């Protein structure tokens, strides 16, 4: 299916959009020129929203006097925003921006025409085909999709809810049944990975001074919000906000169970970053059968940044934990988090009022 310019504006991460950008002959050295003013403004807005809201929104307030069409502004603003984030050179901002674009794509895709949804899925090698599923006690049918078995396995590894496990899916001749919303979710994850890859490419860019100044302002805004969020973290850990993986590891340690090296590192780094003291973490490991206070203290202090090069470590990403078999399966918050600490911060917002009242 041929995507229209308006489609490309909504989905600027598609190969067709990239080809359209090439035809428009984007010149980074001229981004301070009037013809690019609306493009740069929209690119800044995309990044600002990612920083402050964690989600890129649709824009509708375009002036008729602007030199470029609304669609071209949207299409060009995406690569310009990528260039600006690359220039900031901050991994946390890169991850945040990629996730914000993925959420934006998901919100659009779940409302998309099923045929167009399948066409966009195919650009990411998600070979789907639409079928019709009859709804009982209704006269209408609900569109559903079939996804190639191998493609399904490749793309669902990031998700932790039990509904994504193959044992809980319907299969038909080597294809897996997926809903329209699930296809949108899978594409959204592909968008996140695609944008992250773009942001991690090394590029020697020459940008006008005005653009460099704007990039510095965005960087300072991101750093300021990160600092505020870190200051808002409680001084003591809140066990009710632990993600499922940490709950399991913590329980295993307290019940004298065995923890692998990566499980020990994950639990230790999480507890330290969530507000627990070094001594508090050591006490968590005391019940284990192979406990050595001297060795445990050395390892915990090293992860806390008190030894070695002074680096305070953070827990591995969720997909790494899943690969090593540490993830026990997640919940709805896990679906929106890529690290255990991200889950913890979000869950705190829900449990904090309850703990304050007690």
Domain locations in the chain as residue ranges: 5-106+194-229, 113-186, 239-357
Tokens coding 104: 């934006």
Fold (topology level) of 239-357: DNA Cyclobutane Dipyrimidine Photolyase, subunit A; domain 3 (1.10.579)
Name beta bridge partners: 318.
Answer: none
Whether residue 162 is predicted with pLDDT greater than 90 in this model: the reply is no
- pLDDT greater at residue 330 or residue 208: 208
Tell me what pLDDT residue 356 has. Answer: 45
Q: What mean pLDDT is predicted for residues 144-157?
A: 86
Q: 107: pLDDT confidence band, cut at 50, 70 and 90?
A: very high
- pLDDT tier, 89 (very low <50, low <70, confident <90, very high otherwise): confident
Distance CA 75, CA 8 (A): 7
Residues in the chain: 358
Confidence band, pLDDT 50/70/90 cuts, at residue 256 = confident
Element (H, E) at 218: helix 209-231
Question: Does 233 score more than 60 pLDDT?
Answer: no
Q: What local confidence, expressed as pLDDT, does residue 354 receive?
A: 52
- pLDDT score, position 40: 94
How far apart are alpha carbons 178 and 143 in whole angstroms?
10
Split at pLDDT 50, 70, 90, the class of 105 is very high
Distance CA 227, CA 137 (A): 54
Predicted local distance difference test score (pLDDT) of residue 345:
86
pLDDT score for 137: 54
What is the reported pLDDT for 358? Answer: 43
- Exposed/middle/buried for 233, CB within 10 Å: 0-12, 13-18, 19+? middle
Which DSSP letter does residue 30 get? G
């Amino acid at each position: 299916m041929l995507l229209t310019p308006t489609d490309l504006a909504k989905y600027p991460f598609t190969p067709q959009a990239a080809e359209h950008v090439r035809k428009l002959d984007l010149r980074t050295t001229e981004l301070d020129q009037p013809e690019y003013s609306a493009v740069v403004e929209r690119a800044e807005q995309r990044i600002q929203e990612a920083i402050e809201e964690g989600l890129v929104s649709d824009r509708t307030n375009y002036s008729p006097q602007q030199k470029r069409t609304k669609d071209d502004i949207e299409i060009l603003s995406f690569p310009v925003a990528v260039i600006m984030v690359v220039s900031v050179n901050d991994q946390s901002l890169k991850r945040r921006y990629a996730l914000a674009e993925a959420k934006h794509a998901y919100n659009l895709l779940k409302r998309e025409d099923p045929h167009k949804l399948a066409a966009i899925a195919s650009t990411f090698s998600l070979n789907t085909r639409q079928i019709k599923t009859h709804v009982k006690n209704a006269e209408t049918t609900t569109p559903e999709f079939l996804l190639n078995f191998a493609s399904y396995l490749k793309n669902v590894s990031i998700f932790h809810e039990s509904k994504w496990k193959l044992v809980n899916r319907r299969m038909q001749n080597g294809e897996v049944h997926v809903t329209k919303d699930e296809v949108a979710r899978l594409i959204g994850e592909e968008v996140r990975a695609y944008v992250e890859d773009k942001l991690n490419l090394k590029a020697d860019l020459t940008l006008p001074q005005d653009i460099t100044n704007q990039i510095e302002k965005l960087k300072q805004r991101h750093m300021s919000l990160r600092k505020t969020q870190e200051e808002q973290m409680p001084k003591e850990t809140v066990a009710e906000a632990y993600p499922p993986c940490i709950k399991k590891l913590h329980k295993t340690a307290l019940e004298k169970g065995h923890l692998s090296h990566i499980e020990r590192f994950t639990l230790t780094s999480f507890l330290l970053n969530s507000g627990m003291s070094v001594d508090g973490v050591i006490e968590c490991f005391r019940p284990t059968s192979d406990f050595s206070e001297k060795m445990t203290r050395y390892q915990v202090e090293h992860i806390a940044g008190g030894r070695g090069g002074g680096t305070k470590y953070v827990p591995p990403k969720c997909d790494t934990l899943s690969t090593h078999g540490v993830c026990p399966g997640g919940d709805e918050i896990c679906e929106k988090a890529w690290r255990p600490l991200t889950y913890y911060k979000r869950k705190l917002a829900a449990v904090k009022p309850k703990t304050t009242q007690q």
